[in-house]
Structure 1
Amino acid sequence: MGITKLCDLIRREAPNAVSYKEISDYTGKVIAVDTSIVLNQFRTAVPGIHNRDGVNLSPFTGLFFRTLHFLEHDIKPVFVFDGCPPAQKKTVLEKRAKAAGMIGSYGYNPVSTKIQDCQRLLKLLGVPYIQAPGDGEALCAQLVKEGKVDAVASEDMDTMAFGSSVLLRQLNAKKASEVTEYSLPKLLDALKLKYEEFVDLCILLGCDYCEKIQGLGPKKALALIQQHKTIEEVVLNVNRKTHPVPQCWRYRDARRLFMEAPVGNEPDLAWAEPNEDGLVNFLCHEKHVKEDRVRGRMEKFRQNLKERRTEREEAKKAGKSQQTRMEDFFRVTRRRQALEVPEATHAKRAKRQ
């Protein structure tokens, strides 16, 4: 779910916080990818692709093609996987499972066979992945705040509530697609809010971690936060007859989840050339994807890299200094200077609209 109607509020109140770009605009950037969103897109877009053993191939083939597409555009993806969800998310996850016809435990299994297979595929593609301790978008946002990546690719607007200064939506594999970029600093400036006030606004709008005040729309919620600054003050001033406040409302837990930095191991962000023979063995011999599809895509990948290398050589001759070797592209990336983000009063921290 993400943050209810946050997109609508941004379009109406802060249109300058949104820009529309092409995937080529992110050449040379390191992008944290909210992997659960990507895998879900593949499952729902092409749910009928199964091999002779009944295994759904959509997540594997989708991840294979999309990752190569990123690499062809000199984008360095870092795939972030969800860990175990926080207890505060139990209610919303159970509702989603029921709506999907899956009755049972709400828990997410980060070590399932499918997840391990996806991680194995990424390793063969030479792309790093990270297992988050909790929600993946929280760690994605934290990577931006620490300067390890330049932006987060996700469809979930709560990535901004977690503190990511740049959110990319529709960073997909379609050549002519328009990428929607959201800027948190520009949004805060337009709304005249501090980051912690924005987090409280997101909770009032509706998030995955607690209930919301009933009947409170985006326009009213924004006005209340702009006037009263905190949920505590909003509760004291809101009309409880028209906008009843939930009993035992756990908004403080939600606030803490958004603002506290996730605790995890230091990520090792290194890229390598794809292992074509390993990919063929995994995708074709184990998952029974047609070999000509995999070989053909790898050949196209090499040709595209060669063309880009030639373009860089020509640009270099023209006086522009750019990397020209494949080995240069797949080098280890050093820690980058942190992007500018608003300060929070709590510890630093950094699904679906």
Structure 2
Amino acid sequence: MGITKLSDLIRNEAPSAISYKEISDYTGKTIAVDASIVLNQFRTAIPRLHNRNGVNLSPLIGLFYRTLCFLEHDIKPVFVFDGCPPEQKKSVLERRAKASGWSGSYGSSSVSTQVQDCQTLLHHLGVPYVQAPGDAEAFCAQLVKDRKVDAVASEDMDTMAFGSDLLIRQLNAKKNSEVMEYSLPKVLAALQLTYKEFVDLCILLGCDYCEKIQGLGPKRALQLIQEHKTIEKVVLHINRKTHPIPLAWRYRDARELFFQTPQGSQPDLVWKEPDEQELVNFLCHQKHVKEEKVRGRMEKFCQTLTERRREREETNTAEKGKQTCIKDFFRVTRKRQVWNKKVH
């Protein structure tokens, strides 16, 4: 869910904080990808892609194609997987899993077989992945703050509440100008909020870590935070009959979770060339995906890389062929004075 109606609020109240781009605009960039979002997208979009053993392969195959698409655009993805979620979020995750028919272990840090398969696939693709100690969104945001990556790719808006300066949505968009980039500094400037006030706004809007004040809409929540600055002061200035405060409201715990620095060692991010034979062994021989599909996609991938390298070489050759004179580098402001000085 992320932050309820935050994207609508930004679009209406801070439209200048959103840039509409194309996937090619991120060539050369390192992007942290919220892996659970990608897997859930393919689990929902292609729910009946099973192999002969009845195993649902839609997340695995979707991840294969999506990752190759990123690499073809010279994007360096880092996939971040959820660890053990905080206690406040477990009930939310259980409700979502039950609604979608997906079962997962939310009470421990154990990694499901499907996630292990996805991590094996990424290894053969030569793409690094990270097992977050807690929520993937929080760790993605921390990677941005540590300057390990340039931005976060996720459909959940809560990476902004965790402090990521840049959030990219719909990075897989096929049409031009459908990729949306959200700038946290621009959001804060347009809404005239500090980061701490923004986090309190996100809690009032509704997040995964606590209940919200019922009946309090996005525009009114923004007005209250702009005027009163903190949740503690907001609750003193609302009508509790029309906007009842949740019993034992744990908004302070939610606020602390957004401010916490995720624990865990710094990841070693290394990208390598995909290993086609290992991909065939894993996807075709172990998971029973048709070999012609895997081979065909890898052939297209190699052709794309070869063409891109050729284009770069032609560009470099053209640039080297240009004649450049010294005044193109240094602007001449005045002639040097000639000294006729006798040597004694």
- Per the TM superposition, whether the score is higher than 0.5 is yes
Structure 1 residue 177: Cα displacement: 6.8
SS in structure 1 of the partner of residue 319 of structure 2 = coil
- Aligned counterparts of 1:102 and 1:300: Cα–Cα separation in 2: 33
Pairs within 5 Å for 1:95-134: 95-101=95-101, 106-107=106-107, 110-134=110-134
Q: Do 2:173 and 2:179's aligned partners in 1 also have CA atoms closer than 8 Å?
A: no
Residue 108 of structure 1 deviates from its aligned partner by 6.6
Larger RCO, structures 1/2 (Cα 8 Å, 6+ apart): 1
Which deviates more from structure 2 when the two are superposed, residues 125-134 or residues 230-239?
230-239
Moved beyond 4 Å, runs of 4+: 101-106
CA–CA distance in structure 1, aligned partners of residues 311 and 97 of structure 2: 49
Q: Deviations over 1:137-188 (max 9, x none)?
A: 1100000011000000000011110111100111116365721111100000
* Equivalent-residue separation in structure 1 for 2:133 and 2:105 (angstroms): 19
* Pairing of 1:1-353 with structure 2 (within 5 A): 1-101=1-101, 106-107=106-107, 110-172=110-172, 174=174, 176=176, 178-319=178-319
**Contact 1:66/1:173, CA 8 A, preserved across alignment:** no
Counterpart of 2:98, as a letter, is K
Q: Relative to 1, partners in 2 of residues 1:51 and 1:103: Cα closer, same or farther, differing over 3 Å?
A: closer
Distance 1:177 1:52 in 2: 39
How far apart are the structure 2 equivalents of 1:235 and 1:173? Answer: 41
Structure 1's 130 and 313: CA in aligned 2 closer, same or farther, altered over 3 A?
same
Provide the alpha-carbon RMSD of the alignment: 1.7
Tell me how far apart the structure 2 counterparts of residues 305 and 102 of structure 1 sit (CA, whole Å).
37
Report deviation, 1:94: 2.8
Mapped to 2, the partners of 1:317 and 1:300 lie a distance apart of 26
Larger radius of gyration: 2
**Kept after mapping to 2: 8 A contact 1:82/1:110:** no
Q: Which runs of 5+ in 2 are unaligned?
A: 321-344
Residues in 2 aligned to 1:108 and 1:44: alpha-carbon distance in whole angstroms: 24
- Alpha-carbon offset, residue 319 of structure 1: 1.9
Unpaired runs of at least 5, structure 1: 321-353
Structure 1 CA distance for aligned equivalents of residues 268 and 301 of structure 2? 25
Does the 8 A contact of 1:97 with 1:106 survive in 2?
Answer: no
Contact 1:84 1:107 in 2 (8 A): yes
Q: Which one-letter code corresponds to 1:225 in the other structure?
A: I
Please say if residues 161 and 202 of structure 2, whose CA atoms lie closer than 8 Å, have aligned partners that are also in contact: yes
CA displacement at 1:317 relative to structure 2: 1.6
Contact in 1 for aligned 2:104/2:112 (Cα 8 Å): no
Number of residue-to-residue matches in the alignment: 321
